[in-house]
Amino acid sequence: MIAIYPGSFDPVTLGHIDIIERGAKLFERVIVAVLSNPSKQSLFTVDERMEQIKKCTQHIKNIKVDSFVGLTVEYAKIHQAGVLLRGLRVLSDFEKELQMAHTNKTLNQEIETVFLATTKEYSFLSSSIVKEIAHFGGSIDHLVSTNVAQDMYQKYQNQ
Ligand code: PNS
């Protein structure tokens, strides 16, 4: 079974990597799909985000990093994926995630959403938190991989 792990990944965090690693053990193939959403302002371009993910998932053999526009279920169908993989951190994630899962189910009955409980060390972690810490000059070395931390420091230095 092929699983799609869709997200913004702006930037990819150690919490995302944890889900990718564990998903890759459960599914034949995991496609990490970066949403390209021109109406949403992002820190990194889609190409930069894909490059960051590729660099920190080199040790995982059965994954592919890609980007998409439009509906996730349409992307999943094109790639013959039967599962949408998402991480669940805390209770506040649940409402949005359940809404997305139900919406996606109405759009395509054949595609299931599978949730993995985020490893508890990362249950507080989000891309927004990482950006906020980096913006104020704090250390993010324990929250993202080395290549992403370097990209972040460089980005904020140039701003
Ligand atoms: O990392 P994020 O921002 O929480 O990921 C959200 C994402 C990309 C999974 C979601 O916004 C999405 O699937 N967008 C594509 C548009 C779509 O399919 N919408 C219908 C489901 S709500």
pLDDT digits (tens, 9 = 90+) for 87-104: 999 888 899 999 999 999
Find the 135 Cα to ligand 1 centroid distance in Å: 25
Q: Give the CATH number, domain containing residue 44.
A: 3.40.50.620
Question: How far is it, in rounded angstroms, from Cα 57 to Cα 13?
Answer: 12
Give ligand 1 pocket residues (Cβ under 6 A). Answer: 6-8, 35, 71-72, 100, 103-104
Q: Please give the pLDDT value at position 157.
A: 80
Residue of the CA atom closest to atom 5 of ligand 1: 7
Q: Which residues have a catalytic role annotated?
A: 16, 40, 89, 127
Out of 5, 100, 127, mutate this one to test ligand 1's pocket (max ligand atoms within 8 Å of CB): namely: 100
Question: How far is it, in rounded angstroms, from Cα 116 to Cα 149?
Answer: 25
Structural domain tally of the chain? 1
Q: Is pLDDT of 77 > 90?
A: yes
Find the 37 Cα to ligand 1 centroid distance in Å: 10
Find the 127 Cα to ligand 1 centroid distance in Å: 15
pLDDT digits (tens, 9 = 90+) for 108-146: 999 999 999 999 999 999 999 999 999 998 999 999 999
Q: Please give the pLDDT value at position 38.
A: 82
Q: Is pLDDT of 159 > 90?
A: no
Q: Please give the pLDDT value at position 49.
A: 98
Cβ atoms of 127 and 10 closer than 8 Å: yes
For 74, left (φ over 0), alpha (ψ -120 to 50), or beta?
A: alpha
Residue of the CA atom closest to atom 13 of ligand 1: 72
Q: Please give the pLDDT value at position 39.
A: 85
Higher per-residue confidence, 107 vs 137: 107
Work out the average pLDDT over 22-31.
Answer: 98
Global pTM reads 0.96
Domain range for 119 is: 2-157
Q: Please give the pLDDT value at position 129.
A: 96
Cβ atoms of 125 and 13 closer than 8 Å: yes
Q: Please give the pLDDT value at position 92.
A: 83
Q: Round the average pLDDT of the chain to a whole number and report it.
A: 95
Residue of the CA atom closest to atom 6 of ligand 1: 7
